[in-house]
Amino acid sequence: MKGFSQKTNKMRRLSGDKPLNTPQPRAILKLPCPRWLKGEAASLWRSLAPQLIAAGVLTAWDKAAFQALCVSYGLMMQAARDLLTAGVTVPDRSGSDKKHPAQTIFRSNSDTFRKYCELFGIAPLARQRLDITIPDKSNALEELLDDATTHFKP
């Protein structure tokens, strides 16, 4: 039994295979941050969403998954702060030390965050697998200077 094809449509075209006929979501220009996201989760949304939209990765269909990515990041960072402040152990009822509960929270949310990063191509290998092209951020002044140096060589 043959498994699911791991090739992107671009790779299928290059190898001569017929592209998969999968419905594609409409491109969006902006996806506002939900009001209930707070702190570092909201900051991550505001910094990553515009870049992922520009790269064509984040669509309206992906809103719930992207929310989960941001929430897991916020929880992971809160747990990291708790661990750095209180230490990795806390005293239990008998007075001996036990593992800080934030360690479990940190570990589970960092795993979740990593998995969502792979879905959105935030990790280098995931970008390569998803065939993401990062938009060029050059501006008009840089293009003008490049043209000037090309045409007016001493």
Residue 25 belongs to some domain of the structure = no
Residue 90 belongs to some domain of the structure = yes
**CA neighbours closer than 13 Å in the CB half-sphere of residue 61:** 8
Residue 154: the pLDDT is 45
Residue 12 belongs to some domain of the structure = no
Residue 57 belongs to some domain of the structure = yes
Residue 2 belongs to some domain of the structure = no
Residue 7 belongs to some domain of the structure = no
Residue 23 belongs to some domain of the structure = no
**Tens-digit pLDDT profile for residues 91-147:** 888 889 999 999 999 999 999 999 999 888 888 887 777 766 665 655 555 555 555
How many domains does one find in the chain?
A: 1
Domain that holds residue 142: 36-151
Residue 14 belongs to some domain of the structure = no
